[in-house]
Amino acid sequence: MFSVEDFDVEVDYDLLGARNGVREVIEDVVSQLADSGTGFTFGTKVHPKQVNLLKLRDADGETSSLGEYLQAEFDNECGPFLASNKYFLRNYLCYVEIPTYRYEKSTGERKASYDKFLATACLDIAAAWTSLDEDTAITKYGKHLDSFDDVDYEDVLVPIVKLGRNKMGRSITRPRNPLDLDKQGIRIVPVFALRSYVSRFYANAKEEVARVTFIKDNGSERVIDTTFSPELLKDLYNDSTFVSNMLESCYDGNFLGSTVIDRGYIRVPEVGASIYDGSGVRAVSYTRICSIEYGVEPNMEFARVDLDGVVFAFSGYVNKLNEKQINQLVTALSMEGFDVDTLTGKNRGLELVVDAFQLESWADLQNKILSTTFQRSLALFMMTNPQWFGNYTGERGGLSSEVTFGSSGDGVLQDLDDLI
């Protein structure tokens, strides 16, 4: 809830844009949402649990929403979504995210992804980003950005500059083509809102373990337990060296100082990550957070499992099984919820005979697609089925006496490289 009077604030500018009433209202609201563990967006949702702040209502009980107030800035000649995107770009430093597809080099598979960048149509922000004086900023970008105000209210193509980094430091590029605000799934979020949200989340997660649910670049849902508290991490792992190395590469609370601010994520310690993990650190896409649960009890079941070696170990054991055992294993995998339809041909109405090489290839492909999620599920499956996987415990160094090298498929070699 907000009050119309909240918007009546004298305006000056900093790197994040206009320090006006709209910004103050949004900063306050997103901080509250971070406390309550609720994700947010402006318009386009990536998950039903996210709150659309354009529907934030006026505290006076009238029907006006934040989106409708911003719509009025353009004489109500465009909808709330288009109006808010234009307003944000013209007044603030913004994070822009557009759904797209990329192709996996190894598999040729088309995967969902995002184009991501920082953008603005505000000259003051462009100048502040690269520390330009006013005259230089006007000469370089003034005419281009001022043309924003000449765009018809209902027009979806707007001029912007992209803000990024290169070897020399911060950089600005002027795209040849205007930004299309009508692209399907486009999301434009003021960076000040992201900073407020992440800052409050960081403060809370320094006190207790938080369970964060978010949407990854490939569209899948990911759940990570995390904390930024050295004391909690040391208690959980009993390994101060691992904890120190983990925290060294994590987000430190300096949002604007992050070198990946234009990528829309922060690096966090994954509580429950294996001590054999190279870092124990994962990326959380804060623009696509669905929910946060504070004060959770983390799962440390895999803290001493060598996840990078799981598929390699699986291949070694599989190559010792006969045809009957492999068929039994495939059936058990299916019953445990693993997707083996492409392996067995069920998705094509077939009943294929599966051999060790095919089973290895299947595991390698699942590992590439699902990564840690698959590794953990497979490790647990192996530890609870000694009839096929002997005394497998998941710990590093205990494989050579029980397993032999399987085929020379790329997946096995890749896992071997990981072990080395």
pLDDT tens track for 270-300: 999 989 877 899 999 999 999 999 999 999 9
Task: Tell me, yes or no, whether 377 lies in a domain.
Answer: yes
Q: What is the pLDDT of residues 366-376, one digit of tens each?
A: 999 888 889 99
Is residue 237 located within the same domain as residue 375?
Answer: no
Task: Tell me, yes or no, whether 322 lies in a domain.
Answer: yes
First and final C-alpha spacing in the chain: 56
Task: Tell me, yes or no, whether 260 lies in a domain.
Answer: yes
| Alpha carbons 223 and 282: distance in angstroms, whole number | 11
Residues of the chain with pLDDT under 50: 1-2, 4-5, 399-420
Is residue 222 located within the same domain as residue 114?
Answer: no
| Residue carrying structure tokens 């502040």 | 128
Return the bridge partners of 226, or none: 210
Is residue 288 located within the same domain as residue 320?
Answer: no
Helix (H, G, I), strand (E, B) or coil at 374: helix
Is residue 167 located within the same domain as residue 24?
Answer: yes
Return the amino acid letter for 236: L
Is residue 26 located within the same domain as residue 162?
Answer: yes
Which residues contact residue 196 at a Cβ distance below 8 angstroms, ignoring those fewer than 6 apart? 26, 27, 30, 31, 34
Task: Tell me, yes or no, whether 302 lies in a domain.
Answer: no
Return the amino acid letter for 307: L
Q: Give pLDDT, residue 344.
A: 86
Task: Tell me, yes or no, whether 300 lies in a domain.
Answer: no
Q: Beta strands of 138-296 (E only): which ranges?
A: 157-158, 161-166, 169-173, 179-180, 187-190, 210-215, 221-226, 265-269, 281-285, 289-294
Domain end (from 269, 294, 319): 294
Q: Give pLDDT, residue 329.
A: 96
Is residue 55 located within the same domain as residue 155?
Answer: yes
- The backbone torsions φ and ψ at residue 33, rounded to the nearest 5 degrees and listed phi first, read -65, -40
Q: Give pLDDT, residue 59.
A: 66
Q: Give pLDDT, residue 7.
A: 53
Is residue 163 located within the same domain as residue 225?
Answer: no
In the chain, the number of structural domains is 3
Domain end (from 294, 321, 338): 294
Is residue 290 located within the same domain as residue 317?
Answer: no
Is residue 63 located within the same domain as residue 173?
Answer: yes
Task: Tell me, yes or no, whether 345 lies in a domain.
Answer: yes
Domain end (from 251, 272, 294): 294
CB pairs under 8 A, 24+ apart, for 215-221? 215/46, 215/47, 215/285, 215/288, 215/290, 216/285, 216/288, 217/112, 217/113, 217/114, 217/285, 218/111, 218/112, 218/113, 219/112, 220/370, 221/47, 221/290
Distances (CA, A) of 397 to 276, 304, 306, 392: 11, 12, 9, 11
The domain of 212 spans: 193-294
Task: Tell me, yes or no, whether 301 lies in a domain.
Answer: no
Is residue 80 located within the same domain as residue 212?
Answer: no
| Alpha carbons 14 and 278: distance in angstroms, whole number | 39
- The backbone torsions φ and ψ at residue 100, rounded to the nearest 5 degrees and listed phi first, read -150, -170
Model pTM above 0.75: yes
Task: Tell me, yes or no, whether 77 lies in a domain.
Answer: yes
